[in-house]
Amino acid sequence: MSADRKPTDFEMAVYQATRGVPAGKVTSYGRLAATLGRGTARAVGSALARNPFAPEVPCHRVVRADGALGGFNGATEGPELARKRRMLEQEGVRFDAAGRVRPETMV
């Protein structure tokens, strides 16, 4: 089994940017990458996947650019994703019939 490694500078930047996302709103992986001016959606996703600062860092407020939930707690589907969706709904985020976040909810 692999031991936890210390967060890299890039990952730290991602966590910090994620902290700035207000409740009731969501951002996308690519949006964060653009804000950081560094890396891409893939890199951001990898960083959030190992987010050691939950729940201080609201990684559940980060979704895909097309409105899909993305992943949560290392899983891209299953009960973990359902939890993520409930948390967002609880914060006031609205979903459509296809299970995608409404565009107006995305910052």
Partner DNA sequence: CACCTGACATAAT
Partner DNA sequence: AATTATGCCAGGT
Indicate if 49 belongs to the active site: no
Q: Is 41 in the site for DNA (CB under 7 A)?
A: yes
Shortest distance, CB of residue 82 to DNA, whole angstroms? 14
Give whole-number Cα distances, 97 to 11, 24, 64, 82, 101, in Å.
33, 19, 17, 15, 10
Pick from 15, 17, 21, 29 the residue near DNA by CB under 7 A. Answer: 29
Is the CB of 54 or the CB of 82 nearer to DNA? 54
Separation CA 101–CA 34 (nearest Å): 20
By the 8 A CB rule, do 37 and 12 touch? Answer: no
Give whole-number Cα distances, 7 to 10, 11, 93, in Å.
8, 6, 30
Eight-state DSSP code of residue 84: H
Pick from 19, 40, 78, 107 the residue near DNA by CB under 7 A. Answer: 40
The contact pattern for DNA, residues 53-92, with x = CB under 7 A and - = no contact, is -x----xx-x-xxx-x-xxxxx-x----------------
Q: Is 37 in the site for DNA (CB under 7 A)?
A: no
